[in-house]
Amino acid sequence: MSWLTIPPDTDFTIYNFPLGVFKKDARTQPTICSAFGEYVVDLDALHELGFFRDFKLPKRFFRKDCINDYIALGKTVTQAIRHRLIDLFSEGKRATNASKWRYLFLHQMRDVQLLLPLKIGDYTDFYSSKEHATNVGSMFRDPNKALLTNWLHIPIAYHGRSSSIVVSGTPIPRPSGQRVLKMSEPIPTFGLSQKMDFELETAFVVGSNTQIGETIAAEQAEDSIFGMVLLNDWSARDLQQWESQPLGPFLGKSFATTISAWVVPMEALTPFRVPSVKQEPAVLPYLETTGWRSYDIELSVELSSQTFENHKVAVSNTKHTYWNICQQLAHHTSNGCPIRIGDLMASGTMSAPTAAGYGSMLELAWNGTKPITLPDGSQRTFLNDGDTVILRGFAEKNGIRVGFGTCIGTIK
């Protein structure tokens, strides 16, 4: 129970307290914050009021434009601050004192600007959904050999562009590039992408630094993972299909990636652990993990345009992930590649086993051969200008709900 009334279906419950960065207006400094119900919680104001005094943080520590320095405090401290927030918004002496000062540290979320919460040095996108990999392989190769030989042995990934990662709500320009409209006539033209797509993903945020040559064992990888976000890895499929011969994504992906404004700490997701997918054949020893290393987080995609709103086109779940996040991080560092606080590592498209849960237009419309019909009667094979894509994600169990808010982008 809390002294502050919040909506019963909010993502930002007493069990969550994600991290973000906000500005009150154009003239104010960016500040690290959390969320509770429909409110932004100003951590700098709470610090000024003395509620974090025992953590011995420098004055104005929370007046920053990213949460990287906060993550660098280490999980012992960040978990303690999260529990302090739970105390401040629950019932008891400390909460009663905090409630008196609510006008100083609470702001309606609709009245502030949420910023990109991280300084992202490097961005890696994995390919960890077996369903998605099988669907794509079936479209472009022999369906009986949809997965390449290495896929069941190694967490496949590509290195993306951190410079084009934007926060939820940022408009997405349609990119230009070389494309071949008919693969039977491979003569490229240059122009705007005709096959704009979304990808329903999550991503984890790296919570520690390593040096070149260091590795992270799969069993200890969670110690180096701070939290998770929703992620839409926008894709220009016509550019991607032409350029990915023989190498991987380049201009078809690097023009934009959208993440949610809130980073949900892994501690908030602990109640939603589930067993990982059974892996056959057995993975190599350095990728072995024990215990429950996957999460039951429901994911969805909605489309809106000028003629319809919030039409749900897909529902999936992170529990379908074949390669769990510990295996992803262990593999990423297995060659000695250094990681840094704030690095982002995405899951790849999270498709469910059935068509209702396919996490991209490429799959939903099966590469343009099965158009989907929308509430206004229009059809889509890929995204039109003016289309808005809304990703949502939440976990719920035994009366506990933890969510990510939304991850939104509109094609310009």
Dihedral (CA of 139, 145, 148, 151) sign? positive
Joined together, the tokens standing for residue 395 give 């976990």
DSSP reduced 3-state for 219: helix
Q: What does the alpha-carbon distance between residue 179 and residue 266 come to, in Å, rounded to a whole number?
A: 40
DSSP label of 403: E
Contact call for residues 381 and 392 (beta carbons, < 8 A): no
Question: Contact 388/313 with Cβ under 8 angstroms?
Answer: no
Token duo for residue 345? 């590592």
Q: What are the residues whose beta carbons fall under 8 Å from the beta carbon of 321, sequence distance 6 or more?
A: 128, 129, 276, 277, 294, 347, 350
SS3 353: coil
Give the Cα separation of 270 and 79 in Å (integer). 13
Active site residue 132: yes
Among residues 47, 83, 107, 132, which one is catalytic?
A: 132
Q: Which residues are catalytic?
A: 132
